[in-house]
Structure 1
Amino acid sequence: MSDLNLTEFTALSFDCYGTLIDWEAGIAAVLSPWARERQLDLTDEELLLAYADNEAAVEKESPTSLYPDVLATAFRRTGEVLGEGVSEGWAQRLGGSVPDWPAFPDSAESLGRLRNHYELIILSNVHRDGFAGSNQHLHGDFAAVITAEDVGAYKPAENHFRALDRSLVELGVERTQLLHVAQSLFHDHVPAKREGLTSVWINRRHDSPGWGATPEPSGDWSYSREFTSMADFADAVDDAFGEE
């Protein structure tokens, strides 16, 4: 997986949450105090594991729901699984938390470097206002932003990728010149393989066991190269283009 020529691409499409924004920290920042209030002796990792499949199920069942509503419903279902109720206040607290989710420390600086070489595109399971809040942390200069609100569905469904095809035409980018950059095997690398897109895995959970807030991939997936951080990926790009 080391023969990928990073100079052959002219555009990068990014998953945002899990890759650029630390969505697990953002979700745990709400689930953890709720669990303490309910006297549940669960770690953040255990809470995220209980939550993961519920969010994916809600997204599949209600593809046109805005992401805050998905978060709130998934939280309620997680409470049911854990045998504890989730009040409307707690549900709405998670639903409204997206703009507060922190960026990974290397995301903004890495995006700035990558922008020197590529057009940057966001391909995200979120609503427009949520991403606008997140971009206050990222300071990203994106040629296109494609959200679940825009396409009426959530990855791994095909809607984002049809919208991506249209954006590539508008930007004058050949599909073979696009590299997809993502953490989630379930949300991104499974559909990238299905769509015939070259991808790289930003393995943010390389030092953590299990799948965390992301469901286990349910289809075939592949990637052309693995990095453990955005900074490592940006370093590899700079090296490929001959920059110090």
Structure 2
Amino acid sequence: MINLNQYEVLTFDCYGTLIDWEKGVLEALQPVLQSHHIQLSENEILEWFARFESSLEQGEYRNYKDVLKGVVQKFGEQFGFTPSSGELNALADSVKDWQPFADTVEALKTLKRRLKLAIISNVDDDLFAFSAKHLQVKFDEVVTAQQVKSYKPSVQNFHVAIARLAEIGIPSEKILHVACSVYHDIVPANSLGLSTVWVNRRLGQEGSGAALPAQGKPDLEVPDLKSLAAKINF
């Protein structure tokens, strides 16, 4: 059994773990698809999003706003329509309004009382700045894809986070990575020997959602952050 009280810092994936990105993605994409008479279920939209996003994040780095524009473009190519300029930007423009899960802010404030908190996120710096306001806590370190010029599941993003935390005296064995995506986070973090918590936000739901399916072995599984915070001694 993992001893949660041995860690000094929690590193978080942001979108899907802290911020309800699936709701944000759906609210941005559904009107676009409906305007072109494309009928897809919520699970279908999310799973197409996962395929398109992951393909666009491979190869030469592009910023996340351009990745999201590319996702809309790929929906058009896949389903036979040409998005307008407004529709192309709908997904990227929506990120600033994506909201935390109901348990996120209180759990972060609780965890901050004893632990340092950090972010490792596939996002642009300016987009995360909007999300940080919603999250209402000060993070001790923030590592974005824009800073690293790569996207998880690349281990480079984790190497940068580990190096920055080492600079403030935190060794890798004192880092606990917390994430909802096995594909983006649990697998690469485990490959570097980091301890991991899988926040299974899709517990009881069908399909793999907005992240590609993957197999990994987290040290702990919880349904939400409130459950994680309850397991740590303060």
Short-chain TM bin: over 0.9
Q: State the distance in 2 between where 1:206 and 1:171 align.
A: 36
Q: Which residue of 2 aligns with 1:139?
A: 136
Q: Percent same amino acid among aligned pairs?
A: 37
Identify unmatched segments of 5+ residues in structure 1.
Answer: none
RMSD across aligned positions (CA):
1.2
Is residue 125 from structure 1 mapped to residue 130 from structure 2 by the alignment?
Answer: no
1:110 and 2:110 equivalent? no
Question: What is the CA distance between 1:19 and its match in structure 2?
Answer: 0.1
CA distance in 1, matches of 2:18, 2:206: 20
Q: Deviations over 1:54-79 (max 9, x none)?
A: 1011011332x111111001111122
Structure 2 match to 1:226: 221
Per-residue CA distance 1:154-209 (angstroms, 9 max, x = gap):
00112211211211212211110110000000100110121111101000000211
User: Equivalent residues in 2 for 1:35-74 (5 A)?
Assistant: 35-63=33-61, 65-74=62-71
Extract structure 1 runs of 4+ deviating beyond 6 A. none
- Cα offset, 1:22, TM superposition: 0.6
The C-alpha deviation readout for 1:98-135, integer Å capped at 9, x for no partner, is 11111111111100000111110100000111111001
Conserved? CA contact 1:191–1:221, under 8 Å = no
Using the size of structure 1 for normalisation, the TM-score is 0.93
User: Contact conserved, 1:103 with 1:138, CA < 8 A, in 2?
Assistant: yes
Once the two structures are overlaid, the 10-residue window that deviates more, 4-13 or 78-87, is 78-87
User: Which residue number corresponds to residue 231 of structure 2?
Assistant: 236
Alpha-carbon separation, structure 2, partners of 1:174 and 1:126? 25
- The count of residues paired between Structure 1 and Structure 2 equals 234
1:15 aligned to 5, 13, 18, which one? 13
Letter of the 2:45 partner, please give it. L
Structure 2 CA distance for aligned equivalents of residues 215 and 76 of structure 1 = 19
Q: Helix, strand or coil: the match of 1:146?
A: strand
Tell me what 1:158 maps to.
155
Q: Is the Cα contact below 8 Å between 2:11 and 2:176 reproduced in 1?
A: yes
- Conservation of the 8 A alpha-carbon contact between 1:21 and 1:104: yes
| Contact map agreement 1:192 1:221 (CA 8 A) in 2 | no
Hey, what's the Cα distance between the residues in 2 that align with 1:213 and 1:85? 23
The one of 146, 149, 162 equivalent to 2:146 is 149
Secondary structure of residue in 2 paired with 1:96: helix
Unaligned runs of 5+ in 2: none
Which residue of structure 2 lines up, in the alignment, with residue 24 of structure 1?
A: 22
